[in-house]
Amino acid sequence: MSDFGTLYIIATPIGNLADISLRALDTIKAVKVLYAEDTRVTQHLLDHYGIQAKLLSLHDFNESKRISSVIEHLQAGSDVGLVSDAGTPLISDPGYKLVASVQDAGLDVRAIPGPSALTAALSVCGIPTDRFVFEGFLPKSSNDRNKRLAMLRFETRTIVFYESPKRIEASIQSCIEFMGADRKAALLREMTKHYEQHFCADLHTIKKQLASQNEKLRGEMVLILHGNDSQEDEVEFEKAMKLLVDLQQHMSLKEAVAIVAKHSGVRRNQLYSQGLKDNSNNQ
Ligand code: SAM
């Protein structure tokens, strides 16, 4: 047994407070200090289970400052826990710098695994999960979002995004422009909570389903896209777009798209939406 303490990274529920492991509860009870992203959120969880713990905040704005005191506790032989507001710490949540620093100090870090919106969403999306990329949140500015999606256009693995209700419609529209309206997708909202909702269809259908909701979509959500399974690749796409530009010297975009689609592996709606975007950028 080491004389030093261990840092435990503890997963907590993503909505339903019953989704917490026995080991997570035991560890929260046992640690000397529990660092939490927002102590008020974690206090609610502790109150639910009648647990008293010494809670201190550790969030994006004070993580660097907290590191030395965590290391002091561990070196003095005390165990320390880290939780975030929901799910698994470090997954689009603070903690990475802390874990790296504790490892660098030669001290132990252990996971108390449990819920994460990432794995919960993958487990119910109905899209292949053997290979996937987690993209976290898409950038807020439409320009940066488009750049990110342009990089993902030919990604063949399943793509997972965390999304905000404020931007979901704009993000789906951008995904349609870059991936095509017929790309299979899933939007998982408020998982494990009372108003849980799943939209599993192509992007065009999901867009229509969101537009027909009586109320604006609220709450927390994960957007998952099927990887690109068309035969098109980046080089072929670039060639097709060059041809599209040339043909538009002599005909409309629609006519040019029909010809290019016939002679390349690139789909008509991909060519059309990219053509529209390029034309408006060049005006
Ligand atoms: N660390 C957390 C985890 O392991 O899932 C994620 C933290 S991140 C700051 C919060 C985002 O996770 C939300 O904006 C949403 O995209 C997703 N999320 C969290 N809980 C969710 C839920 N119950 N249903 C759907 N998405 C959820």
Q: What is the pLDDT of residue 279?
A: 85
Q: Which residues line ligand 1 (CB under 6 A)?
A: 14-15, 84, 86-88, 91-93, 116-118, 162-164, 188-193, 220-222
Rounded distance from Cα 93 to ligand 1 centre (Å): 9
- Segments making up each domain of the chain, as ranges: 6-115, 118-225, 231-281
Q: How far is the CA of 92 from the centre of ligand 1 (A)?
A: 8
Q: How far apart are CA 219 and CA 163, in angstroms?
A: 10
Q: How far apart are CA 12 and CA 192, in angstroms?
A: 13
pLDDT digits (tens, 9 = 90+) for 200-237: 999 999 999 999 987 888 999 999 999 998 766 778 88
Q: pTM, whole model, 2 decimals?
A: 0.88
**What distance in Å separates the CA atoms of residue 102 and residue 232, rounded to the nearest whole number?**
45
User: CATH number for the 6-115 domain, one of 3.40.1010.10, 3.10.20.30, 3.10.310.30, 3.40.50.300?
Assistant: 3.40.1010.10
Give the pLDDT band (50/70/90) at residue 280: confident
pLDDT of 231 reads 67
CA of 219 to the centre of ligand 1 (A): 10
Say whether pLDDT at 266 is over 90.
no
d(CA 282, CA 146): 16
pLDDT tens across 178-207, in order? 998 999 999 999 999 999 999 999 999 999
Q: What angle do CA 134, 58, 78 make, to 5 degrees?
A: 110
Question: For 135-164, how does the pLDDT look when each residue is reduced to its tens digit (9 = 90+)?
Answer: 999 999 989 999 999 999 999 999 999 999
* Bridge-based pairing state of the strands 108-112 and 33-36: unpaired
- pLDDT over 90 percentage in the chain: 82
Neighbours of 225 (CB within 10 A): 27
Task: Scan for tokens 């500015």, then name that residue.
Answer: 141
Residue 276 — very low, low, confident or very high, per pLDDT cuts 50/70/90?
A: confident
pLDDT higher than threshold 70 for residue 16: yes
Domain 118-225, classified CATH 3.30.950.10, yes or no: yes
What are the tens digits of pLDDT across the range 245-254?
999 999 999 9
What is the Cα–Cα distance from 102 to 111, expressed in whole angstroms? 14
